Chains A and B, each alone.
Chain A
Amino acid sequence: MTATDATLPEVTAPAALAKRPREVIYRHSFVTRVTHWINVLAISLLIMSGAQIFNAHPSLYWGQYGADADKPLLAMQAFHTTNGGLVGKTTIGSWTFDTTGVLGASGAPGHQEARGFPGWLTVPSWRDLALGRHWHFFFAWVLVINGLIYMLFGLFSGHFRRDIAPDRDQLGPRHILRNIWDHVRLKHPTGEEAKRYNVLQKLAYIAVIFLLVPAMVLTGLTMSPGVDSIAPFLLTLFGGRQSARTIHFICANLIVLFVLVHLVEVLLAGVVNEVRSMITGRYVVPAERHK
């Protein structure tokens, strides 16, 4: 731990240390850190194997049924051009976009093939529904077991109440508006404020932990004919198996969006300090800005 801290400039400059004592807090508990990194692995592979499974029928529908003859909400299709080439078209509702090279048709020049998502987004990179399903269901179990451990820990250790639930003062409209403005200016909290998550951050975590990931798991289970016989209310809840598949897809995209924003925030807030805090638990509180 001290070895890692020594890489920080504050420690190597004793003069600065004397002027401005560096405050280190224990930010992330052991369970939070371990479940976080298992999630990184599981969610990455679930997204990629999910894209592989999607490619087997790259169309989405609403309702109980949906197949080739039914009108899709979204479709990624390939069309042959007159000169023997391939164009990829993505249709959302009544809009159609040319997405050649990425969605609908992709691959090395001259070897383009019809496929929903490109090979660099899927696991395995070649088209193999059977293998994609092996990966997907294995890591789905990992996600569910890991998530249950985290949920129980969060509930009983006070982590949710202490760290995730917004504090009373954070819920005032003025506080929230100021927090939004801080985000727009890419300004991160310092000093005392940096010791807790900011309110937008907390709301984002709440949305992912209590809404998006549970919705992913439940819509995933709704696609299982076996689970549908055990829990038919799932079909009612999501409006049918094809609706559940569409919601599964939308939630997966929202999770990808969350991860991208999360990564940008880590970069902006100080990648070394942030990543280290998720490995060792120790976090250097950014010094108060000069007023």
Chain B
Amino acid sequence: MSGLIVSRRGLVAGAASLGGLILAGCDRLARAPSFDQILQSAQGLTYRSQRLLEAGGPLAREYAKSDISPVFKLNGTLVPTGDAYKAMADNRFADWKLVVDGMVARPLSLSLAQLGALPARTQITRHDCVEGWSAIGQWSGARLGPILQLAGLSGNARYIVFHCADNWGPGGDYYESIDLVDAFHPQTILAYALNGAPLEVGHGAPLRLRVERQLGYKQAKYVMRIEAVDKLNMIGSGKGGFWEDRGYEWYAGI
């Protein structure tokens, strides 16, 4: 009987130490950049599969007014630091201009009033944070596609980059990028209003990107400049966005 108890204890101890070894092994693998590269190969598979199945450009679900979240959670930068932004905000963004440049034939500089006169769209959509929470809100804004056409987007451009006013410390200028499939998707807008009111500072005033088939960190707030490029490796750390440079997927469709 004592033999049985010892062996049972041995079994439990063995299982526990085996578990510890597996955990330590996982941590070592997680720290190895070469192993992370293997894991990240799944990202390309996800991107290509979703783009293949999205042929025809289906819309993200749009909700009813009654589905709107009572409180739309504020996340990320709540107030951009720096006097330049504060001066613009104090002036209710009257002097603010959106710059559209890069690989375009006619660079643009658009005021909020000019943006408001461009083809617009209002949509009640769901915002999905990479952390797991969701909030539903009604966004109104200028459609990105017509703005790019107005600027004369070059046939060689492959990505649209959004440069933002918020900064997360040295080397921490927020930026984001999307491909042209999303750039010309009808629901991709530069939003200037949430739930019928001008965008609050916490939500990215005066302008934030809505790219409805991707996660929250793609929805760049405080957009100052839109740049058309053919590759992303010259911007930031080269991964196509602030969070992308910190390990998150460039394609955030899942």
A-to-B contact residues, CB < 8 Å:
44-45, 48, 53-54, 56-57, 59, 61, 64-70, 120, 123-126, 128-131, 133-135, 137-138, 140-141, 221, 223-230, 232, 235, 241-242, 245, 267
Contacts and interface: CB of A to CB of B under 8 A. Distances in A.
Interface residues of B, number: 51
Contact of B126 (A134, A230, A241): A241
A232 B130 CA distance: 20
B130 A137 contact: no
A226 B134 contact: no
B136 A68 contact: no
B78 interface: no
Contacts of B249: 133
Given A67-B71, A70-B69, A227 B134 contact: no
B67 interface: yes
Contacts of B155: none
30 contacts: A48-B26, A53-B132, A57-B133, A61-B133, A64-B136, A65-B135, A65-B136, A67-B71, A67-B129, A70-B70, A123-B27, A125-B26, A129-B248, A130-B243, A130-B248, A131-B36, A135-B30, A137-B39, A137-B254, A138-B40, A138-B42, A221-B254, A223-B254, A225-B253, A227-B50, A227-B53, A228-B60, A228-B61, A229-B61, A245-B132
A45 B42 CA distance: 15
A225 B132 CA distance: 12
B4 interface: no
A48 to B, nearest CB: 7
A105 B27 CA distance: 21
A67 B134 contact: yes
Given A125-B27, A130-B248, A230-B54, A68 B213 contact: no
A124 B39 CA distance: 13
Contacts of A57: 129, 131-133
Given A53-B132, A65-B135, A131 B30 contact: yes
Given A67-B134, A124-B27, A135-B30, A223 B253 contact: no
Interface string B167-187: 000000000000000000000
Contacts of B26: 45, 48, 123-125
A54 B132 CA distance: 7
Interface in B218-245: 243
A80 B249 CA distance: 34
Contact of A230 (B38, B43, B53, B131): B53
Contacts of B59: 229
9 smallest beta-carbon distances between A and B, as pairs: A226-B253, A130-B247, A69-B71, A124-B30, A224-B254, A57-B132, A67-B133, A56-B131, A67-B73
Of A69, A125, A134, most B-chain CB atoms within 10 Å: A134
Contact of A226 (B23, B67, B70, B254): B254
Nearest to B20: A120
B78 to A, nearest CB: 14
A226 B214 contact: yes
A137 B130 CA distance: 13
B180 to A, nearest CB: 16
B1 interface: no
Contact of A131 (B53, B70, B247): B247
Contacts of A123: 23, 26-27, 30
B63 A64 contact: yes
A226 B214 CA distance: 6
A69 B69 CA distance: 9
B253 A135 contact: no
Nearest to A120: B23
B131 A129 contact: yes
Of B27, B38, B45, B128, most A-chain CB atoms within 10 Å: B128
Nearest to A45: B26
Contacts of B109: none
B49 to A, nearest CB: 9
Given A67-B73, A137-B46, A227-B254, 6 more contacts: A45-B26, A61-B133, A123-B26, A129-B248, A221-B254, A229-B213
A229 B54 contact: yes
